[in-house]
Structure 1
Amino acid sequence: MPAVSISLRVLAGAIISVLTISGCQTLDDAGRVIGRADLVNDLAARLDRSNELTYSADYQLPGGQNASISQTQDPLRAAYTYPGGKLTVTADATTACDTSTKKPTCTLTAPPAANAKPSVTIFTEVNKRGLVTPPVVIGLLTAAALDPDAAIRQYDTTVAGRHATCVEVNQLSDAPAVNFDACITSEGALGSFTGTLDGTELEMALSRYRDAVESSAFDLPAGAGLVDRRAAEGQPPA
C-alpha cells in the first residue's frame, strides 16, 4: 500500500532506539526488550518488502463473506474491497465507496501527500466492515513492542499454502486492540488477523495470493454516484 503505508524501516529503527536507550533495565528486561524489537523488525521488514510488490490477496471473513487487497507499482495504487464498501488510493485521489445501498456512492478526497506521515484513520470504515489492513497491524505491533506489560508469543503456521510468522498479543494497553493474533507470510502479505479492534470483532484469513492484479480491481462500482471533495480541500480534480 505504497501511498498510505508507514515508512517501516524508519519506524522499526525508531522503536529499537526508544526501547534500548533506558539505563534502568535489568538483564531480564533488556532481553525481553531486544526480543520484541527483533520481532517488530522482522515483521516490519516483511511488510516493507510487500510495499514494493505488485500483488492481490483474497481473504475469507466470517459468514462466508470475502475481502481483498490489490496493489500495483506502475502506476502506484492500492485497492481494498470489503463487505459493503471499497477504498482505493491513487496519486489522484483517495476514494471511499459505500456499496451497501442499491445505488453505490463514492467520495473522492485528496490523496496522501507525498513523503508525508500517513494516517491510518482512512481505514476506520474498512476496519468496521471486517478488513484489517497492514498499516493498522503495524500500529498494533508497534504498541505491543512499546508496552512492557504486553504478553507476546511468536509461532509459525501455514496460510493458504504459504509459510507465515505469527504473533499472539495479550494484555496490550493504550491501543485500539487489547488482544490480537496476526500472521504475516514470507512475501509480506497479511496472512490472518483475529481480534477486537475499536469494539469490532474481526477475523480474516488469506485464501488466495497472486503476483498479479487485474485492472478491474481499481474500478469504481458500476453506476456509483460520485461526490468529489478534492476542490474543497484545495486540490483541483484530476
Structure 2
Amino acid sequence: MPAASLARRVVAAAAVALALLATGCQSLDDAGRAIGRSQLINDLAGRLDAALASTYAAEYQLAGGATASIVQTQQPAPRAAYIYPAGLLTVTGEATAECDTGGERPVCTLTPPPAQAGKPPVTTFTSAKDRGLVTPPMVIGLLTSAALDPTTTTEETDSTIAGRHATCVEVRPGSAEDGQAPFKTCVTSDGVLGSFTGTVDDTPVDLALVRYRDSVESSVFELPADALVVDRRDDTD
C-alpha cells in the first residue's frame, strides 16, 4: 500500500477516535469500534481510488431498466468515459466533454481537462448523477465523509456481483442534520464499483454491475460524429 494512502487512513481513523474520546463519555471500546468502522470505509474508498488507474469497461443496470457504462484506460494516456441515459461524459488529456444525447442532435460542451489526468472533480458528474449514474469519485467522497463522522454506523457484508467478489457496506449517518443520507455500496476486490443504492443530493440512485471487461474499445472516447460541439476551453470566466 502506498505510504501516502496508508497515512491518510491512519489520520482518518485517529480523528474518529479523538472525536469520540473528546466528549468524555465514550469508552476505549467505543473508540476501537469507531476505528474499525473507519478502516473498513477507508479501505473501500482506497480500492475505488486505486482502480481509477486501471483499464476496464463496466456496464450497469439502473433503476427502471436503463443501462449505463464506465470505461477507462491508461494507454496511450489516461482516459475515461461515462455513458448514461441521454448523456455522455468523456475525460481525456485534451478536454472534458459533456454531451447531451437526448435531442435530435447531440450537443457536446468542451471544458479544460482535469488538473490530475483522468480524475475530474466530483462536480463534473452532476448530469450523470441526475440521470441515475453515480461514479466512483462520487462514492469515494461519500465514504470519506462517512469515515470522518463519528456518529455514523455501518454494517459489512460480502456479495458476488457479476461473478466478482465484492465487499458491501451499509452506511447510516447518526444525524440527518448534516444532509448525509443512508446508502449501501459494494466494491469488488479489484476496486470496481459493484453497486450503489441511496440518495445523492436529493436524487435517488440504484445501480448494479452486470458486465465487466478488462479491455476497452478506443471509439468509446470519441464524441458522436454528428454532435454540435461548443468549445469553452478558452473561457476565462
TM-score range normalised by the length of the shorter chain: 0.7 to 0.9
Kept in 1: contact 2:84–2:133 (CA 8 A): yes
What is residue 64 of structure 1 aligned with on the other side?
65
The answer to whether residue 92 in structure 2 is matched with residue 90 in structure 1 is yes
The answer to whether residue 182 in structure 2 is matched with residue 179 in structure 1 is yes
Is 48-57 or 123-132 further displaced after alignment? 48-57
Is 225-234 or 202-211 further displaced after alignment? 225-234
What is residue 4 of structure 1 aligned with on the other side?
none
Kept in 1: contact 2:161–2:209 (CA 8 A): yes
What is residue 138 of structure 2 aligned with on the other side?
136
2:9 to 8, 12, 27: 12
Structure-2 change in CA distance of 1:12 and 1:224 (3 Å)? farther
Deviation at 1:36, TM superposition (A): 1.9
CA distance in 2, matches of 1:81, 1:197: 18
- Structure 2 SS opposite 1:91: coil
CA distance in 1, matches of 2:5, 2:209: 22
Identity of aligned residues (%): 55
Kept in 1: contact 2:42–2:143 (CA 8 A): no
Residue correspondences, number: 227
CA distance in 2, matches of 1:127, 1:222: 25
Is 198-207 or 32-41 further displaced after alignment? 32-41
1:92-111 alignment runs, 5 A limit: 92-111=94-113
Q: RMSD in angstroms over aligned alpha carbons?
A: 2.2
CA distance in 1, matches of 2:69, 2:178: 25
CA distance in 2, matches of 1:113, 1:13: 27
Kept in 1: contact 2:185–2:195 (CA 8 A): yes
Is 21-30 or 74-83 further displaced after alignment? 21-30
CA distance in 2, matches of 1:189, 1:137: 11
1:43-82 alignment runs, 5 A limit: 43-74=44-75, 75-82=77-84
CA distance in 2, matches of 1:13, 1:27: 17
TM-score, scaled to structure 1: 0.87
What are the superposed Cα offsets for residues 64-105 of structure 1, whole Å, 9 maximum, x if unpaired? Answer: 211000010112111000001011111111110001111110
Q: Which runs of 5+ in 2 are unaligned?
A: none
CA distance in 1, matches of 2:5, 2:216: 24
The answer to whether residue 163 in structure 2 is matched with residue 161 in structure 1 is yes
Kept in 1: contact 2:80–2:91 (CA 8 A): yes
Q: Which runs of 5+ in 1 are unaligned?
A: 1-6
CA distance in 1, matches of 2:5, 2:121: 14
Deviation at 1:53, TM superposition (A): 1.2
Deviation at 1:18, TM superposition (A): 2.4
What are the superposed Cα offsets for residues 110-154 of structure 1, whole Å, 9 maximum, x if unpaired? Answer: 111148x96311111110010010111111111111222222111
What is residue 208 of structure 2 aligned with on the other side?
205
Structure-2 change in CA distance of 1:118 and 1:54 (3 Å)? closer
The answer to whether residue 31 in structure 2 is matched with residue 30 in structure 1 is yes
Amino acid at match of 1:50: A
CA distance in 2, matches of 1:175, 1:77: 34
Kept in 1: contact 2:17–2:32 (CA 8 A): no
Kept in 2: contact 1:177–1:195 (CA 8 A): no
CA distance in 2, matches of 1:139, 1:129: 19
CA distance in 1, matches of 2:164, 2:194: 9
